[in-house]
Each structure stands twice: as C-alpha cells, then as structure tokens.
Amino acid sequence: MALSKALIVARYPRGPMLVPVMFNPPEYQLTRSNEYAEIAVPGLGSSMVQFVRGNARSLTTDLFFDTTSIGLDVRLHTDIVVGLADVDPETHAPPQLLFLWGSLVFPCVLESVSQHFLYFDAAGLPLRAQLSVTLRGAESLTTLVASTPLQSPDRAKGRVVRAGDTLARIAAEEYDDPRQWRVIARASGIDDPLALSLGQRLTIPALR
C-alpha cells in the first residue's frame, strides 16, 4: 500500500491553506531538549545543576520538488512553502501550522527554510529543488498544562538556595502555591524564613 502524502496545513484567520508535499521526505528528525541552570556553591568542586524548563520540540526534514516533466519553474511550488515564514498582516505573525504525515500530527511554526536549487533548463530556469526546513513545535497552552504534572513528587527532594530565592518563591516553583512555604521551612528546620543563605540545602517534601 502506498504511503500517504505528507501535508502542511497553514491556519490563517480567513481559513486554512493546504500545502501538499510533492514527494514524501526520506526521513525526518524530532528533537527535544531541556534547559538547566548551573548553580555555583562555594567550596564544592563542581556546580549544581537544576532543571529550568523544557524547550519546544523541533522537526527537521528535507522536502523535494521537481518539475522537469512539465518544464515549469519549480519556484511556483517552493515559494508557497517559503511563504509560510512570512508575517500575516492580520495576526502580525507567521501562521500556525500542522505538519501531518501518517500518524504524525505536529503543531508548529516554520522556524527556518533553506532553498537548494539542483537542476536547471537551458535558459537557467530552476526545475528541481530541495528545501531544508526546521519546524518548531507550537503546542497550545491548554495542551502544555495538561501534559505537565503539577503534583508534588511521592518523596521529598533537595534543593539548593540560589541568589534571589525566598521560601515563598521556592514554594511557588515547586508546588505552584507560594503559601506552602511553611511546609519547606518545617522540613528544612528553618526558624527564620528570612534568613536563607546562598548555597543552603533545603528539603522539599511531598504534599500530602
């Protein structure tokens, strides 16, 4: 059974635009990364590493276009894809996209596109091209919140005090509730919540 064609759906306020892929790419690569902060603690031989946030996924692939059989300028096709990086006058931003291929449904925006023209007719008209595209994941806020566990872990964990930290700020980051600072203070044996020291190690207990 033939593999279905990949499809890019551009979502404009005036209605969606369908951009079919002329030839399915031979492969694509999905990348996911996280950001971590290095926390310098005086007297230690290395920095502590603490999770900051997750980055959006990215999809990179090559799209191929060929019009040698009909002799038309291949840019009639490639310009449509390149145009997905243009700012829409109504939204003041490039369009939100969906990259669809088989079971892959990837909400995204076009982060970058590079055109490589490979073959020309006798007059220099480009007839074959390869577009290297990077699509940056663009999940909705509702989807991101639903996929992020906000509950406290089942067991206590440690955390090192950084510059600018307060118990309320730490409670907001760990529990999504700054009012839970007393839980951290009790677990860490802190009598004065204003007397945190840089590099001090705190216990972040599970909320019951």
Query: Which residue reads 């209605």 in tokens?
Result: 15
Segment 75-132, tens digit of pLDDT = 999 999 999 999 999 999 999 999 999 888 999 999 999 999 999 999 999 999 999 9
Alpha-carbon torsion 167, 169, 172, 174, what sign?
A: negative
Nearest to 207 by CA among 131, 126, 125, 151: 151
Q: What is the mean pLDDT of the chain?
A: 87
Phi/psi for 34 (5° steps) reads -120, 155
Residue 62 burial by Cβ neighbours in a 10 Å radius (0-12, 13-18, 19+): middle
Whether the pLDDT of residue 142 is over 90: the answer is no
State the span(s) of the chain assigned CATH 2.40.30.200: 7-145
Q: Which residues contact 139 (CB under 8 A, 6 or more apart)?
A: 56, 107, 147
Whether the pLDDT of residue 68 is over 70: the answer is yes
Q: Torsion angle, CA of 137/78/126/101, rounded to 10 degrees?
A: 70
Confidence bin at 1 (pLDDT 50/70/90): very low
Mean pLDDT of 13-21: 91
Segment 30-64, tens digit of pLDDT = 999 999 888 877 777 788 788 888 888 999 999 99
State the span(s) of the chain assigned CATH 3.10.350.10: 149-204
Q: Which amino acid is at 27?
A: E
> What predicted TM-score, i.e. pTM, was given to this entire model?
0.65
Question: Looking at domain 149-204, does it have CATH number 3.10.350.10?
Answer: yes
Q: Which CATH class is domain 7-145?
A: mainly beta
Q: What percent of the chain has pLDDT over 70?
A: 91
Question: How is residue 44 written in tokens?
Answer: 């230690």
